[in-house]
Structures are given as structure tokens and as C-alpha cells.
């Protein structure tokens, strides 16, 4: 059995111990809760890393995958590898690296990086419309990046850092609670109070296919709920339209 074969033949794996990494046959390691940003020809997404070896890794995501597809895998913003999909089935795939790596040393470095000050979660570039639901109305925004922990946006209205709001993504009826972390001009950053569901971020193309301003949120017509917004001298928001219910 080589490092990229499907060891479980489609069945769930055994429980993974709390040691963080388990050495397996053929110099293969199982990584716990390791997420990678996978970049393909026309898409980006956050996929789950099931195991990794010096020569490749196994990924899981509920998106179409093709054997022979070239991918760039970012295990962090500093650690990136290129490879090719050599098998794909049941929402999983095996990727062979173009150049071998020291998997044990890489996992150790990733663990240290994650504990370091200033560490940032993997972000996905995105060009999609979304809605910010505020206490006194709602605002259309353009998302420019997103991760499980937060998002960057562009908005015509200046929002005060610390403001509480709900972010509604394209096609997603569930709202994500967030705080405005920073705001400079039309740009701003959100921090999610709870980590965002990784499965929603498996494909930016899929996420961006639905324009939330033309869809529905919780049964409410968004296009009829967008407020006319202005700000006073203190930067406070005034909304003059119906709120989203």
C-alpha cells in the first residue's frame, strides 16, 4: 500500500488519539483538525486534511474532484505545496506532491506557528455580495476575503469597531454573529464570535453563485429590506428602511 492509497476503502477511520499526530505505516501521519486552503484552476476552498506523508496527503471536501487536477495546498500562509490529484472518491482525494517534504518536521513547524503571536487563520479570496444585519437596519457589503474566524469587506458606510452585527452570506439563511474588529475608510474587518462552518467554505465558486441581495434570508425578501443609510458627524448609522425579520 502506498502513501496515497485509500486505507479505509471508504469506511470511517478509527478514533484518533489526543497526541495530535499519530505515526502510521509508510511514514504516514494523521493530522487532527488540520485545515488547508486548496487552490485549483478556477476555485479556492478550505478542505480537511485527513493524513499526510512525505510524498502526499489525503483531503476531504464535498466538492467535485478530478484525477489529474493540479492543486496548490496551503497548510498555512507560510507553508505551501503543489501537487496532483491521483485518486478521488466519496468526497476524498489523494494528492501526490511535486516535491517530497519532511512531514514530521512540517507538522511540528505548523503547530509552533499556530501558537505564535500574530498567527492568522487561512483566508480565502472572495468577490461576493453579502448583508450586514445591524440593530437599526441592514447594509449591503462586498466581501473580499473570509476565513473560519473572520472576514474582510468593503462598505460605503463606516462602521464603528466593536459594533455587533450578523453577517449573511450568499445563499445562507443562517446568520453568523460577528463584531467589527477594525474599520478604515470603506474597508473593514469582522471577527466571528463562533468559528464559521468549514463546509460552507469548501468552494468559493459555490458560495458566490447566489447573490444574497436577490435571494431570501429567513423567508424575507432582501431586495425589499435594504436600508437607505447615512452617517452623522460622529460616524453613527441612520437607517430609513424596514429591518430584516
Q: Per residue in 39-61, pLDDT tens?
A: 999 999 999 999 999 999 999 99
Q: pLDDT at position 169, please? A: 86
State the SS3 of the chain: CCCCCCCCCCCCCCCCCCCCEEEEHHHEEEEEEEEEEEECCCCEEEEEEEEEECCEEEEECCCCCCCCCEEEEECCCCCEEEEEEEEEECCEEEEEECCCCCHHHHHHHHHHHHHCCCCCCCCEEEEEEEEEEECCEEEEEEEEEECCCEEEEECCCCCCCCCEEEEECCCCCCCEEEEEEEEECCEEEEEECCCCCHHHHCCHHHHHCCCHHHCEECCEEHHHCCCCEEECCCCCEEECCCCCC
Q: Given pLDDT bands bounded at 50, 70 and 90, which one contains residue 183?
A: very high
CATH 2.40.10.220 fits 124-239, yes or no: yes
| 56-80 pLDDT tens trace | 999 999 999 999 999 999 999 999 9
Name the residue with higher pLDDT: 43 or 12: 43
Q: Which CATH code is given to the segment(s) 21-115?
A: 2.40.10.220
State pLDDT tens for residues 101-116. Answer: 999 999 999 999 988 8
pLDDT band, very low/low/confident/very high, at 6 (cuts 50, 70, 90):
low
| CATH 2.40.10.220 domain residues, the chain | 21-115, 124-239
Confidence check: pLDDT of 234 > 60:
no
Average pLDDT along the chain: 78
Amino acid at each position: 500500500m502506498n502513501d496515497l492509497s485509500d486505507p479505509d476503502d471508504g469506511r470511517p477511520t478509527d478514533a484518533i488519539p489526543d497526541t495530535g499526530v499519530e505515526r502510521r505505516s509508510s511514514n504516514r501521519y494523521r493530522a487532527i483538525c488540520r485545515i488547508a486552503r486548496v487552490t485549483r484552476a478556477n476555485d479556492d476552498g478550505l478542505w480537511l486534511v485527513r493524513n499526510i506523508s512525505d510524498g502526499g496527503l489525503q483531503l476531504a471536501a464535498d466538492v467535485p474532484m478530478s484525477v489529474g487536477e493540479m492543486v496548490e495546498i496551503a497548510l498555512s500562509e507560510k507553508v505551501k505545496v503543489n501537487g496532483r490529484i491521483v485518486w478521488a472518491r466519496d468526497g476524498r482525494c489523494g494528492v501526490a506532491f511535486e516535491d517530497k517534504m519532511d512531514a514530521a518536521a512540517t507538522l511540528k513547524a505548523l503547530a509552533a506557528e499556530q501558537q505564535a503571536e500574530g498567527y492568522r487563520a487561512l483566508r480565502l479570496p472572495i468577490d461576493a455580495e453579502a448583508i450586514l444585519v445591524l440593530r437599526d437596519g441592514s447594509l449591503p457589503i462586498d466581501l473580499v476575503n473570509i476565513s473560519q474566524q473572520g472576514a474582510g469587506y468593503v462598505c460605503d458606510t463606516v462602521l464603528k469597531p466593536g459594533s455587533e452585527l450578523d453577517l449573511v452570506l450568499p445563499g445562507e439563511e443562517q446568520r453568523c454573529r460577528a463584531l467589527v474588529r477594525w474599520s478604515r475608510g470603506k474597508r473593514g474587518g469582522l471577527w466571528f464570535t463562533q468559528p464559521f462552518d468549514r463546509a460552507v467554505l469548501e468552494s468559493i465558486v459555490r458560495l458566490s453563485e447566489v447573490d444574497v441581495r436577490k435571494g431570501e434570508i429567513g423567508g424575507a425578501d432582501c431586495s425589499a429590506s435594504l436600508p437607505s443609510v447615512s452617517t452623522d458627524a460622529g460616524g453613527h448609522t441612520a437607517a430609513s428602511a424596514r429591518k430584516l425579520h
